[in-house]
Amino acid sequence: MRKINWPLVLVLLGLCLLAAIALVVTGPGPAPTTTTTSLLPFASQKMAALPSVLVFSERNAYRLNYLEEHLKGLAELRSVNVSDEPELTSYYGISSFPAVVILLAGKVVYKHEGSLTNKEIVRQVAALRKS
């Protein structure tokens, strides 16, 4: 039969008690900021089944004419100015621009940082629609 190391048990219980007291005194942590809701850029029920394409760029508005024309009805499109929306940029872990993130049902299914042609973006969305 093994001996119980009571001093060790008491030390561990003390640490647990201190952690519980610290949690009660300080609280569970900061409440989520309102910016977390903006991290879901496409919340409309109608578009939920469609992929969402986020195009991150440093310019005011990435040239979306081609994409708007070719993705109409296939995906919802949004240009993200990284200077105006740093939280969104950080949330998706974007560090170089331009960048593209494609979401399906709220989950990242494709991410590319760096130069990418509009035709390749359309191909990626089309491939998602086929699968």
Contact of 124 with 117, CB cutoff 8 Å: no
Q: What is the pLDDT of residues 47-74, one digit of tens each?
A: 557 899 999 998 755 578 899 999 999 9
Tell me what pLDDT residue 71 has.
92
Task: List the beta bridge partners of residue 99.
Answer: 56, 113
More confident residue, 40 or 101: 101
Any idea how long the chain is? 131
Q: What is the pLDDT of residues 105-119, one digit of tens each?
A: 889 999 999 988 999
Give me the residue spans of the domains in the chain.
Answer: 40-130
Q: At residue 112, what is the residue type?
A: H
- Model-level pTM greater than 0.85? no
> What class does CATH assign to 40-130?
alpha beta
Residue 64 burial (C-beta neighbours within 10 Å; 0-12, 13-18, 19+): middle
